[in-house]
Every structure is written in structure tokens, then in C-alpha cells.
Chain A
């Protein structure tokens, strides 16, 4: 599920090579759109913000210094654009309250997931993401699609690595709580 991207040729894009830029858009559009969709919970808005992200990339590509990976830079622009949109629409960016899931319940959920086929798991995840707070969605999605690299993730979110670790743990717990609520309690008991 990790994304493999070729490093784009910045010089060619700066020289006006639209094919190189279109290759760049094709490479990154899916993850940018997924993050936007999960944060904004609206397909049209997500598409608009994703397009704005690439326009910003195009306008400021000459400022890309190469201190971080190109993907990190793009996802940072995308994440900040989504936060700006949420702020503009006066929608909450806050996470749900943190509640730890007891170890036994986590173990039961693990067993249940083993018996659910991949398609069904994917559907379940999609539903649960809709209920998860925007920042948690971005954190989890970027972590799992960006090689689980805490260093890059901390650059995208502009947080320290330790803060990212703590937030990731909490986001996982919140997602587990949503999964638990969405699955039929009886099914969990039967598997447990």
C-alpha cells in the first residue's frame, strides 16, 4: 500500500514542460485526493482543494529546496490547504475525546478482522474514516501510505517526532473505538 514515486525533474517543470508536470500530478493525485477527502468528508471540496494544492505546487516549485522528499513537500501543502479550508468553512478540526480500548477488546477485534475478507475490511475502514476527526484521518492515512516514516510525517504535519508518535497512538485508539462501535457487539462476543 505504500506509494512509489519518481522524483520529478524540477528543472524541466520550471522550463515549462507540461508533460513533466502532468506526470507529477498523476503520481501524487490519488494520495492528495484521499487525504483531502478524508479530512473534508466531501468529494467535491476534496477535488477542489486537491487541484488548488497542485496549482500551489506549480506556482512555488522554484522555491522547493530539496531539504525534504518531494512527496513530503506536496503532502504538507495538501494538509495545510485542507486545514485552511476547514477553518474557512468554520468546521471543527478537533479530534474526538481520547478513550483507550481495553486489551481484551482489541484482541477480540483482531480476531474478528482476521475472518473478514479484504473487500469488507476496506469498506469498514472507509465507513470508520468518515467518523474519525480530520487530523486523525490525515495522520493515519499519511503514516500508512508514506512508508511509516515518522520523520517525514513530522515534517508534513510540522510537529516533533515524539508528538507525532503520541498523536498516532491516540488516533489508532480512536479508530479502534469507532471500529468497535461499528461492528456488531454480538459478532465480537462470538469471536472473542
Chain B
């Protein structure tokens, strides 16, 4: 016990003369600069869809419009344009009616869809917490 007290006294005495080290002069400025960089990184806009997907969608929409307008102009009336649209509708319903999905597959697709939506919510929360 005496030894412990003596030891404590010794280290107390030694530590009484301890002085703190100082970092470089521009330490605070460097930290502040880094925080500004961190802030701008946090606010940086990142589109949900990559640019190439957006461009592809834009090209498809524009192409479809040009095709539609072209039909309208060559036929001379709007009815022809809608007739053609109707043709596409009939074709697509014929096309999809060829497929016959079982109930199990239909339910599996629905459940997968629900789970993907649920998962995306969890992922969104996770990334928001991480980046906050």
C-alpha cells in the first residue's frame, strides 16, 4: 500500500511538469478547410439514374414523337395516327396473351416486387444515415 502511494506521488510529481504538445500553426485552418470539403461532398447532387439511361429514354421518347407526327402529317388526319396507336395496342395484347403465367409465378413476381420496394426503403435509410 505504501509502495502504491509512493509510486503515485512519484508519477504525480513527474506529471506536474508535463506540458501539452502543440500541432502545426495552421492546424485549425486545415481542419476547417476539410470540413468545408466534407460539406460540399454531402451536398453534391447525384442523379438517381445514370446519364446514359436518361439519354436513351429521351431518344426513345423523341423518336416515338417524330414517328407519330410523321404518320399524322402523311395521312392528313388525326384518326389515322390514333388508329396506328390502336394497332400497336392490339399487337401488344396479342403478343402478351401468348404467354401463360402460372399462379405461383405471378405471386412470386408480386412478392419479389414488394420485397424489392421494402429493401430499397431500408437501403435508402442506411445511406441517409451514413452520409448524414
Give the interface of A toward B (CB within 8 A). 1, 16, 18, 21-22, 25-26, 29-31, 33-34, 37, 46-47, 50-51, 54-55, 58-59, 62, 100-103, 106-107, 109-110, 113-114, 118-119, 121-122, 124-125, 140-141, 144-145, 169, 172-173, 175-176, 179
Contact = CB atoms under 8 A, between A and B. Distances in A.
B22 interface: yes
Contact of B15 (A101, A119, A140): A140
Given A103-B3, A106-B6, A59 B38 contact: yes
Contacts of B7: 101, 106, 169, 172-173, 176
B31 A30 contact: no
Question: Majority SS of interface residues in chain A?
Answer: helix
Interface residues of B, number: 32
Question: Majority SS of interface residues in chain B?
Answer: helix
A125 B24 contact: no
B32 interface: yes
Contacts of A33: 20-23, 27
Given A114-B13, A119-B17, 19 more contacts: A1-B15, A21-B35, A22-B31, A25-B27, A25-B31, A34-B21, A46-B23, A54-B31, A55-B31, A55-B38, A107-B6, A109-B10, A118-B17, A125-B14, A144-B18, A169-B4, A172-B8, A172-B11, A173-B7
